Structure 1
Amino acid sequence: MDRVVDITTEGRHLSKDRGFLKVSDEGCEVGRIALDEIIAVVVHAHGTTCSASLLAELADRGAPVVFCGSNHAPRSVLMPVEGHYTQGARLRAQWQTKLPFLKRAWKQIVVCKIDMQASVLEAFDQPAAPLRMMQRSVASGDTSNVEAQAARYYWPRLMGLAFRRDRDAPDVNALLNYGYTVLRSTAARAVIAAGLHPTIGLHHTNRENAFALADDLMEPFRPLVDCVVRGLAERKGPEVDTDAKQELVRVIALDLPLGDGTTPVSVALSKLATSLGQSFETKKLELALPRPPGSQTFLELGS
């Protein structure tokens, strides 16, 4: 079972104990989780301490440790520096891939994301035809920035006319930050496990972004978080509490149509990263991108 460990209480100490992550408070154990089940650790409490042996063990398993700011957005991520048997060859292929190939890959990801956004609006009885038209107009590299045009249409119809996406804002935006942090850490793990370098992105190229490729690959999955946040805000308000975090973490276990079957989000991200790595090596673009689930699935998220 894939689990994201969230640390929100001040004063906790995290350590390794015989195959488990042990959580202690003033020397007394308050919980433990099998290391083999952990795909990421997210730390919000700034008074948290961690043993070096635990961090090394998590790195060996490819599980990132994410440290967040007060707005629930990630400040730093600890990831292993190696961990894939074909890493050298795949990194060379990734680095040597030409710009036209990267642009075509980014187009496929944007088209997939807009498809997911349109399906979300349809599930909530909002007009999605303009998004469907935008989906068909995405060019290689999205040179016309259709992704941003789609976002301007999508957000007010999903969250209300007054909503503005702002990473530094509280309430609903903070819920989105937390959900995206879970996605980002899962995507970063998938990228590393696939033998790719997370800094070398398809589209995100900010020189200060060490996880540009993870940010690229998580894009089609963002609308799932958006649905959870909408449901949570309507049901209980926009507070980022334990219940809300648990709902958002469960997104990685949601089954999505992929290929001939269904696959949990965490596995879908791994398959997407692996397919990209293989595409770099073969020079033939074949991305394993998910399809939107049924409308009822969107409606039930966060409710």
Structure 2
Amino acid sequence: MENRAKLELKLSHLVVRQDGNKIRKIYLKDISHIIVNTTEASITFALLNEIVKNKIKLIFCDEKRNPCAEISPFYSSYNTSEKIRSQIKWDEYIKGDVWQLIVKQKIKNQMNLLKLYEKDEYKMLEKYIDQVEFKDESNREGHAAKVYFNSLFGKDFSRSDDTNVNAALDYGYSILLASINRQVVSNGYITQIGIFHDNMFNQFNLSSDLIEPWRVIIDSYVYRNGSEIFDKEEKIDLINLLNDFVTIDGKLTRVNQAIDIYIRSVFDALNNRDLSLLRFPSYEL
């Protein structure tokens, strides 16, 4: 939603009323995400209630049109209490093994992207993959990130700079994170207790772990798009990346659904102490 609008519920449909009496109706069962990209919108409580019931991720943006908050249901699984108890008891050894494989997959994806764009630094990342240890104790992830971003965006690039590139990366990552948060909660777990991330001020420690193999989708778009501008059109493109296709578990699947398959596989691996259950995506960049 980009402009002044009223969002309401009518017969299981989201109804959007905009200036000039323009009306759009969308069946709620067909929606996975709603992004309110303006502070000039109103929404009825009846619609909010149905959004929660249908496990739709609702994201609000601030006055700069950047995602600032989201709504998720408290109880999305009939056995949420059991799931959370198991999450608290996840064994440190299996968590370390799972994190090692997540980091390896992340660096592999970064390597493939550099190779695609004919960056010689991909060879260094190829070496890092084999050097990733249990719990990534030697921080190959951090070393790879520095090489990777400097190769894509220049030697002077820093993720802390106030640039269009970082604004686009942050926006895209926040969309991915919101999708992952939705799937974590839908599966009955909580986002605060992570596998590796353990920041007391981070509400999304677990999602911050799970997002890592997916970041390259955003990186690839931002690299191709350049750094001249970052506005409404680019934000819409980043949101629509959730509708792209990836291959996971031998099937071509939209990103949004593939994230659910991936997250379920991580939970299965952790709960059953079986790394063979992990399913990672592969995609055409």
Distance 1:107 1:70 in 2: 39
- The alpha-carbon deviation at position 29 of structure 1 amounts to 4.2
**Structure 1, unaligned stretches of length 5 or more?**
1-6, 299-303
1:283/1:67 CA distance change after superposition, 3 Å: same
Residue in 2 that maps onto 1:301? none
- The alpha-carbon deviation at position 250 of structure 1 amounts to 2.4
Distance 2:209 2:280 in 1: 12
Consecutive aligned runs of 4 or more in structure 1 exceeding 4 Å deviation: 70-73
The DSSP-based 3-state class of the residue aligned with 1:80 is coil
1:100/1:74 CA distance change after superposition, 3 Å: farther
1:71/1:288 CA distance change after superposition, 3 Å: farther
Deviation by residue 1:132-159 (Cα, 9 ceiling, x = unmatched): 1111111111122211111100012112
Deviation by residue 1:48-83 (Cα, 9 ceiling, x = unmatched): 222112122111122222223456654322100111
Residue in 2 that maps onto 1:276? 266
The amino acid across from 1:239 in the alignment is F
1:27/1:87 CA distance change after superposition, 3 Å: farther
User: In the alignment, which of 135, 141, 147 is matched to residue 135 of structure 2?
Assistant: 141
For residues 203-214 of structure 1, what are the structure 2 equivalents within 5 Å?
203-214=196-207
TM-score for the superposition, normalised by structure 1: 0.86
The amino acid across from 1:143 in the alignment is E
- The alpha-carbon deviation at position 129 of structure 1 amounts to 0.9
C-alpha contact (below 8 Å) 1:217/1:269 kept by paired residues: no
Residue in 1 that maps onto 2:281? 290
Residue in 1 that maps onto 2:51? 58
**Structure 2, unaligned stretches of length 5 or more?**
none
The DSSP-based 3-state class of the residue aligned with 2:32 is strand
- Whether 2:14 is the aligned partner of 1:21: answer yes
C-alpha contact (below 8 Å) 2:60/2:68 kept by paired residues: yes
Distance 2:137 2:64 in 1: 31
The amino acid across from 1:228 in the alignment is Y
C-alpha contact (below 8 Å) 2:245/2:253 kept by paired residues: yes
C-alpha contact (below 8 Å) 1:71/1:170 kept by paired residues: no
- The alpha-carbon deviation at position 15 of structure 1 amounts to 1.6
C-alpha contact (below 8 Å) 1:254/1:265 kept by paired residues: yes
User: In the alignment, which of 266, 282, 293 is matched to residue 256 of structure 2?
Assistant: 266
Residue in 2 that maps onto 1:238? 229
C-alpha contact (below 8 Å) 1:196/1:277 kept by paired residues: no
C-alpha contact (below 8 Å) 2:37/2:66 kept by paired residues: no
- The alpha-carbon deviation at position 114 of structure 1 amounts to 0.6
Residue in 2 that maps onto 1:257? 247
Distance 1:23 1:263 in 2: 29
The DSSP-based 3-state class of the residue aligned with 1:205 is coil
Distance 1:111 1:248 in 2: 25
C-alpha contact (below 8 Å) 1:195/1:277 kept by paired residues: no
- Whether 2:38 is the aligned partner of 1:35: answer no
The amino acid across from 1:282 in the alignment is N
1:170/1:22 CA distance change after superposition, 3 Å: farther
TM-score for the superposition, normalised by structure 2: 0.91
Residue in 1 that maps onto 2:150? 156
Residue in 1 that maps onto 2:104? 111
The amino acid across from 2:185 in the alignment is I
1:135/1:75 CA distance change after superposition, 3 Å: same
C-alpha contact (below 8 Å) 1:198/1:212 kept by paired residues: yes
- The alpha-carbon deviation at position 223 of structure 1 amounts to 0.7
- The alpha-carbon deviation at position 121 of structure 1 amounts to 0.3
Residue in 2 that maps onto 1:79? 72
The amino acid across from 1:189 in the alignment is R
- The alpha-carbon deviation at position 228 of structure 1 amounts to 0.8
The amino acid across from 1:129 in the alignment is K
The amino acid across from 1:55 in the alignment is L
